[in-house]
Chains A and B, each alone.
Chain A
Amino acid sequence: MKLNIFLAALRTAIDAGTVVVLAGMGELLTERVGVLNLGQEGLIGIGAVAAVIVSDGASSPWVALLAGMLAAGILGLLFATSVVIVRTNQVLTGLAVVLVGVGLSNQLGNNYQGSPVEHTFAPLRIPILADIPQVGPALFDHTLIVYISYLVLPTVVAILLFRTRHGMNLRAVGENPAAADAAGVNVAGMRLLYTTIGAALSGAGGAFLMLVFTPVWSVNVARGRGWVALAVVIFAAWRPSLLVFGALLFGAMISLGFIAQEQNWGIPSFVLAMLPYLVTLALIIIPSALARFGFKVRSSVAPGALAIPYFREER
């Protein structure tokens, strides 16, 4: 069945935005405990390359996905140890993660250049819903990871953050670690845990690129999506629901590029390639600018202790 342009675009947008949802949700959790991990671009790269390498010998794409999460999780744990235990500058250390991740993944992926990934995820048609004409194939014929990323993950994170005691502690660590510490919350443990989980989610995003979206290794595989994820977290005001919306918007811009070329709209491909980054830029600048000019915009305030190392005696 041939989809109409709009629904075909929506289908691609959902797939293209999935990486940003996964990496963005990882970063959201990380920033909620007060840690700024700028390394998303590197974590996505490491997740992708691990998935490619493991998928070579593995029998199932799930093994490759887990490998991607594990590899990025390990890099994330190293980062977390550095910024939480040694208390290094989070900006410098995060950029180091970008360089190590991008450099290492490009080096390791060199041998896989151009060869397609063997085991990829197949779409999981949702019975009945997927049979709805037009809308069905656009929305209900994706891989399981897509459903998890857009429905399960945001719900779980939202409930965790705003409906549980643990989530309250988690946010307290990000807002005021000294108070959380005084209340008996393990600040360092919380930060280590959620920074590592966040990195593993970004790794899942990288693995998704290789196992679903474009199943062939290419240099600089993340293409700025890690930075987009960081921007979308700010746009989303650190809320899971808005993050999904921001990621979809980015996906829509990518999808617009595909459609425009397919339909021969005559827009230079270079302009289309720049568009997602410019839109992302607008996403983070415009709300802040509007707020400054007196418009009522939802408050977008970063966690109080974001990027600030916690020293116990500092009260």
Chain B
Amino acid sequence: MSSVSDAGHTRRSVHLERRLHVEPRRAALVRLLGVATALLIAGVFLQVTGRSAFALAGEVIRSTFGQRRGLEETAVIATPILLDAIAVAIALRMRIWNIGAEGQFYIGAWAAAGIGIHFNLPTPLLLLMMAGAGVIGGALWILVPAIARAHWNVNEIITTLLLNFVAVTWVEWFSIDIWRDKQAAVIQATPLVNARLPGLFGSTTLHAGFLLPLALAVVAWFVFRNTRWGFEVDMIGGNPRAAEFAGINVRRRIVTVMLISGAIAGLSGMVHLAGAAGRLQGTISNSYGFSGFIVAALAGGSFVGLVAGGLFIALLLHSGILLQTAGLSIYIVLAIYGLVLVGIAVAGGRSSLAGPPGETLP
């Protein structure tokens, strides 16, 4: 995808040539190169700090691909990451940066837990209510940043991010204090929710929620490829003023898209709660929201690339959890994310992510 606002000029810098049109295949290749470079740097870092990068890589591959359990665990991690990535990607189509997916995930999980521990209804009905609560929770959590961005031109990056800190504290409050499971003295979490997502292929690890992001990615791909609504969102992303002239109510569309983004991130919290975690606690998200953001950036607005990128990042996160046993902290994965992001920015950032954030209406 080439950016609309870039069309028409040939621009050159002294040493680096600016590419205005990047073929999809080339963009994908360049992204892969960026990722490979990031992993290489991480490997060198590990080697320098006295650990064998090859031995660790071998360990990761063995324990992930070598057994069914490893693959299933990766898929379970991939589920919320993919949902958050879709949430971020939809907003990114409009060049809106929802960095608050992490917070919306927390609030979605919180709202779903509220329903799931206080009601005792038939499983399908309860699951549906929990999903509804998650969707509404996530959407409400982004409501203020959405209105502020659309109507008052307040930078959404900072507002959505600040709310992450509030969301985490909010969930801690409920899981440590208000809804705490009094029977289980050891864990600081709420009781188990009364409805859980069924297993997939008879698995006890992998749950049906894994199908949801795959289906949603197809829907999103279809909407942005074939519908007027999707086209209009892309148009606003390209040039909001032109879109306004074309008769699109840009402000209202910004609010709608951000609410959808928040709703999907909230849903991912519900799915992770009902599918994997079972109870709400302060550490329910393993940086899934941020991982989703990286995936969306990696995919650069493509929903097909998003699924591939999501599985890859889930693998990375799963390895990070494994690496903890090798005396490394999970934080090294964060640093690797950062390097991946630099790789994307250097290599492929020109395509649909090019340009400054939030071009605004007068």
Contact = CB atoms under 8 A, between A and B. Distances in A.
Contact of B356 (A100, A101, A308): A308
A288 B153 contact: yes
A270 to B, nearest CB: 4
Contacts of A288: 148, 152-154
Contact of B357 (A91, A96, A227, A231): A91
B170 interface: yes
Interface stretch (B119-127, B254-262, B330-338): B330-338
B242 interface: no
A103 B334 contact: yes
Given A289-B152, A311-B18, A88 B346 contact: yes
Contact of A268 (B12, B173, B297): B173
- Chain A binding surface SS class: helix
Given A102-B334, A103-B331, A312 B162 contact: no
A93 B349 CA distance: 10
Contacts of A91: 97, 157, 356-357
B339 interface: yes
B154 A93 contact: no
A55 to B, nearest CB: 21
B57 interface: no
Contacts of B152: 285, 288-289, 291-292
A92 B159 contact: no
Residue in B166, B172, B344 whose Cβ sees the most chain A Cβ within 10 Å: B166
Contacts of A228: 162
B337 A103 contact: yes
Contacts of B9: 314
Interface string B330-362: 011111111101101110010001111100000
A274 B338 contact: no
B99 interface: yes
A237 interface: no
B313 to A, nearest CB: 12
Interface string B116-154: 000000000000000000000000000010001001111
A95 interface: yes
Given A96-B342, A103-B334, A313 B11 contact: yes
B37 interface: no
Given A38-B157, A312-B13, A98 B177 contact: no
A103 B335 contact: yes
B337 A313 contact: no
A230 B335 contact: no
B205 interface: no
Nearest to B294: A99
Contacts of A98: 338
B35 to A, nearest CB: 13
A186 interface: no
A91 B297 CA distance: 11
Nearest to A91: B357
A286 B265 CA distance: 26
Interface size class of B (residues with CB under 8 A): 35 or more
A143 interface: no
Interface in B153-178: 153-155, 157-159, 161-163, 165-166, 169-170, 172-173, 177
Contacts of B144: 281, 285
A87 B13 contact: yes
B259 to A, nearest CB: 17
B338 A285 contact: no
A274 B173 CA distance: 10
Contacts of B166: 274, 277-278
A103 B88 CA distance: 22
A314 B355 CA distance: 14
Contacts of B153: 288
Interface string A85-118: 0111111110111111111101100100000000
Interface in B278-334: 290, 293, 297, 328-329, 331-334
A307 interface: yes
B30 to A, nearest CB: 13
B13 A92 contact: no
A41 B123 CA distance: 43
Nearest to A281: B162
A23 interface: no
Contacts of B163: 277, 281
B14 interface: yes
A284 interface: yes
Given A270-B170, A281-B159, A96 B345 contact: yes
Interface of A: 36, 38, 42, 82, 86-93, 95-104, 106-107, 110, 223-224, 227-228, 230-231, 234, 268, 270-271, 273-274, 277-278, 280-281, 284-285, 288-289, 291-292, 306-308, 311-314
Given A278-B166, A307-B357, 15 more contacts: A89-B345, A95-B338, A97-B338, A99-B334, A103-B331, A106-B329, A106-B331, A234-B158, A268-B177, A270-B172, A271-B173, A280-B162, A284-B158, A285-B154, A285-B159
23 contacts: A89-B353, A90-B356, A91-B356, A92-B341, A92-B349, A96-B342, A96-B345, A99-B335, A100-B334, A100-B338, A103-B331, A103-B333, A104-B335, A227-B162, A227-B165, A270-B173, A284-B155, A284-B159, A306-B356, A307-B356, A307-B357, A312-B14, A313-B12
Interface of B: 9, 11-14, 16, 18, 97, 99, 144, 148, 151-155, 157-159, 161-163, 165-166, 169-170, 172-173, 177, 290, 293, 297, 328-329, 331-339, 341-342, 344-346, 349, 353-357
For the complex of A and B, the 7 pairs showing the least CB-CB separation, nearest first, are A103-B334, A103-B335, A99-B338, A100-B338, A270-B173, A106-B331, A96-B341
